[in-house]
Amino acid sequence: QVQLQESGPGMVKPSQTLSLTCTVSGGSISRGGYYWSWIRQHPGKGLEWIGYIYYRGRTYYNPSLKSRLAISVDTSKNQFSLKLSSVTAADTAVYYCARYRGQQLDYWGQGTLVTVSS
Amino acid sequence: QSVLTQSPSVSAAPGQKVTISCSGSSSNIGNNYVSWYRQLPGTAPKLLIYENNERPSGIPDRFSGSKSGTSATLGITGLQTGDEADYYCGTWDSSLSSWVFGGGTKLTVL
């Protein structure tokens, strides 16, 4: 059973960079056919897709976040990471990592709340 | 404003059936698979339906999905109080080159 777990600071100051890591267990991140994804949910709102990465490094980003976004993968640690720069209060959200297979998100992490505040 | 349109809320009595709709366009639902997710309060979303009408292992057959043209529908029969949750549709949008979600539908079981 694949499991994903987000980790990172729960609070980030405005204008700084939000950094999160997702650790995958129960399966290799290098197995072909899967993309490794980030999704966020603003408080009381719906889901917003951030982007995803293939283990070989190919990325797809939400166009609205692309200029501030970097997703990377570390196959040796079975992890992938999110960096979102120049954050504002509008980036306060629960951030989820998930596995994308075919055209669905089949396994999700439990989510981590990141608050942008000085 | 979400690319995929869902009704904000729906309600029904225990034991009844409910349908939740998701409307899009030819660049998303019309030419790609739709999946559905259930988010119980305070928890992460969970995959309910994939490839329009397929259920992952462990999802009961009370849940069903369908797609016609640029719209998709999630059906839930034999409603239980434990089905109270937010339900989201999702698909790839070929024009945006982006995954898109519906705005979510809150199901209340009265």
Q: Which two tokens stand for residue A60?
A: 């797809």
Whether residues A104 and B43 touch (CB distance < 8 A) is answered with no
Query: Locate tokens 């349109």: which residue?
Result: B5
Q: Which residue of chain A has the CA closest to B91?
A: A103
Predicted pLDDT at A10: 95
Nearest to B24 by CA among B109, B95, B77: B95
Nearest CA in chain A to B48: A106
The answer for residues whose C-beta is within 8 angstroms of residue B62's C-beta and 6 or more apart is: B76, B77, B78
Residues 6 or more apart whose Cβ sits within 8 Å of residue A7: A20, A21, A22, A23, A112
**In which residue are the tokens 């059906």 written?**
B75
**How many angstroms separate the CA of residue B69 from the nearest CA in chain A?**
17
Q: Tens of pLDDT along A56-105? A: 989 999 999 999 999 999 999 999 999 999 999 999 999 999 999 989 99
Model pLDDT, residue B32:
97
**B47:A106 CB<8 A:** yes
Residues 6+ apart with CB under 8 A from B39: B45, B46, B85, B86, B87, B88, B104
pLDDT of residue B1: 78
Name the token pair of B7.
Answer: 């009704």
What pLDDT is attached to residue A49?
A: 97
Whole-number Å distance between alpha carbons of A45 and A39:
13
Beta-ladder partners of A9: none
Determine the pLDDT at residue A31: 87
A111–B44: do the CB atoms touch at under 8 Å?
yes
Say if B28 is an interface residue toward chain A (CB within 8 Å): no
Alpha helices by DSSP H, listed for chain B, are none
Residues in chain A: 118
Within 8 A of B50 by CB-CB distance, chain A residues are 102-104, 106
> Rounded to whole angstroms, how far apart are CA atoms A84 and A66?
9
**Are A104 and B51 within 8 A, CB to CB?**
yes
Contact A104 B90 (CB under 8 A): yes
Contact B99 A106 (CB under 8 A): no
CA distance to partner chain B, nearest, from residue A14 (Å): 25
**How far is Cα B33 from Cα B45, in angstroms, rounded to an integer?**
18
pLDDT the model gives residue B65: 98
Q: Is there a contact between B32 and A103 if contact means CB atoms under 8 Å apart?
A: yes
Span A2-61, pLDDT tens digits: 999 999 999 999 999 999 999 999 999 998 889 999 999 999 999 999 999 998 989 999
**pLDDT tens-place values along chain B, 110 residues long:** 789 999 999 999 999 999 999 999 999 999 999 999 999 999 999 999 999 999 999 999 999 999 999 999 999 999 999 999 999 999 999 999 999 999 999 999 98
pLDDT of residue A24: 97
What is the DSSP-derived secondary structure letter of residue B82?
Answer: G
Q: Searching chain A, which residue's CA lies closest to the CA of residue B49?
A: A104
